[in-house]
Amino acid sequence: MRYLKICLCLLLFYPTSFSADEKSEVKTLRIDVRMVEVYASVFDRGGKYLPGLRLSDFRIVENGAVQSISSFESSSAALTLALLVDTTGSMLKPLPHVKNAVADLLGQINPKDRFGLFAFNNKLQVVVPFTKDRRVALRSLFRLRATGSTALFDSLAQLAPHLARITGKKAILLFTDGEDTSSVLSMEDSVRTIKRVGIPVYTVSQGLALDSKLLLERLSEISKATGGVAFTIRNPEEIGEVFSAIVEDLKHLYLLGYYPPATINSNRQGWRRIQVLVPSHKNSQVRAKEGYLP
């Protein structure tokens, strides 16, 4: 989400310099309007990606009202990807597979894309700040060790707003192998924060995480609400295949932005439902976030 800050200054002007009394008459009107960012993947009726779409191909409807699209980034635009990897004690066996999958992923994304590597156990750790340098990332990646408890939702809720401050297309890829045992925030508060930020979150769960129905439901909720995809896998050998599927999806993401009515930003209450349509391709299917919290 971005904020457009518009400052309108009403000045009492005289040809001579301002006196202290005159300066006190300066009035400032400040209006904060939040741009809503919507990520969309578009498929034909056969389930294949539709590349090369333009701004004019899209229509956004919020709570039944058509919105004016103010910004657009095509599927070929550069992306910033945050890789969030579980490094808790339960990851001792699958971590080598995750490392290899991440290494392959770095070779598959576009050279112009930036990425950051983050790890979590009982807290979020910045392993590699956002960069394009694959060699630096690989050196740090293979130093990761499995230890500690799991603060999954705290880490995700902390990372999402940080990533939101970066301009352009962005996404989070989360891999976890266990149930959250150490987060301070409640699961509901964390989910609310992540949905409010609205960056696509791709989640990959395996191992002990599959034993928690509530955890899988919340991760699926996050992915669906933000326009990402939730995956579950049964053995570590599947990690590379799933990561490759996510990279392919990221390569076909469109980013649309619009400014909702000012009354929405001032009221800031209630879930706003979003629909993304592609009228120029009548049989197309769109996966995008379902809405947002003002």
Closest CA to 253 of 156, 170, 132: 170
What average pLDDT does range 91-95 have in this prediction? 90
pLDDT in tens, 239-262: 999 999 999 999 999 999 999 887
pLDDT at 276 > cutoff 50:
yes
Long-range contacts (CB closer than 8 Å, 24 or more residues apart) made by 48-52 = 49/75, 49/248, 49/252, 50/252, 50/278, 50/281, 50/284, 51/75, 51/76, 51/252
pLDDT at 23 > cutoff 50:
no
Q: What is the pLDDT of residue 150?
A: 86
d(CA 210, CA 179): 8
pLDDT at 60 > cutoff 70:
yes
Token readout for 71 is 């910004």
pLDDT at 103 > cutoff 70:
yes
Q: When comparing pLDDT for 285 and 180, which is higher?
A: 285
pLDDT at 1 > cutoff 80:
no
Q: What is the pLDDT of residue 54?
A: 96
What average pLDDT does range 276-284 have in this prediction? 95
pLDDT in tens, 78-88: 999 999 999 99
Which residue is associated with the tokens 């989640």? Answer: 203
By the 8 A CB rule, do 200 and 164 touch? no
CATH fold group of domain 79-250: Rossmann fold (3.40.50)
Q: Give me the chain's average pLDDT, please.
A: 85
Q: Where are the domains of the chain?
A: 2-75+253-292, 79-250
Closest CA to 105 of 250, 240, 249: 240
pLDDT at 117 > cutoff 70:
yes
pLDDT in tens, 167-190: 999 999 999 988 888 888 888 888
pLDDT at 268 > cutoff 60:
no
Q: Which whole-number Å values give the CA distances from 119 to 145, 192, 252, in the listed order?
A: 10, 22, 26
By the 8 A CB rule, do 151 and 190 touch? no
The proportion of the chain whose per-residue pLDDT surpasses 70, expressed as a percent, equals: 86
Q: What is the pLDDT of residue 90?
A: 85
Going by pLDDT thresholds of 50, 70 and 90, the confidence category of residue 11 is: very low
Q: What is the pLDDT of residue 188?
A: 86
Lowest mean pLDDT among 22-26, 196-200, 203-207: 22-26
3-state SS of 186-220 is: CHHHHHHHHHHHCCCEEEEECHHHHHCHHHHHHHH
Closest CA to 168 of 75, 255, 52: 255
